[in-house]
Amino acid sequence: RLSRTRLLLCLHNLIKIEQSKDVIPELRKPDQYLANYVNGKIVGENLVWLHPNHVIVRPGQIFGFNTYNAPDIRMERILAIIERDLTFLRSDNDYISIIHNDDLADCIRELCFSDFIGTINVASSLPVSYYEFYKLLTKARSSMIIFIHMV
């Protein structure tokens, strides 16, 4: 009999490159970059898998504004650069998958009441470059996209 308690864990991919739900990450050695962070995620996922009624949600890069219309950390960075009239350089050949915070919330709400068990990646169907991503963020907030330059 399936547990009535639904356990849902939402965390970013464990590695930077495109990651399918079938990837089995390896624990990092203590002297490796972000070892505690990555190893904590691995241990956390393994514990969640022990629960019979679980979902692990791996979102893309989350962006958006909160209910008070306050910007996320990326938008704060852009706004600070606009205020100082600086140039903002972003890569056009490094790609990420993105998801708006409202879309992620809808997905999580739906998964809470679904029969799905396992790991699911939720993000845009097509990845975008960091350059395009920041242009989208800026366009969503203002019309000032001139200061973002490709590197």
DSSP string, 74-131: HHHHHHHHHHHT--EEE-SS-EE-EEEHHHHHHHHHHHHTS---EEEEES-SS-EEHH
Instruction: Report residue 70 CA to chain centroid gap.
Output: 18
pTM of the model: 0.74
pLDDT at 111: 95
CA–CA dist 131, 84 (Å, integer): 20
* Span of 12-26, 81-95, 105-119, 121-135 with lowest mean pLDDT: 12-26
Question: Regarding beta strands 95-96 and 128-129, do their DSSP bridges make them parallel or antiparallel, or are they unpaired?
Answer: antiparallel
Question: What six digits make up the tokens of 62?
Answer: 């989350």
Report whether pLDDT(108) > 70: yes
pLDDT(145) > 60: no
CA dihedral 50, 21, 44, 37 (to 10 degrees): 170
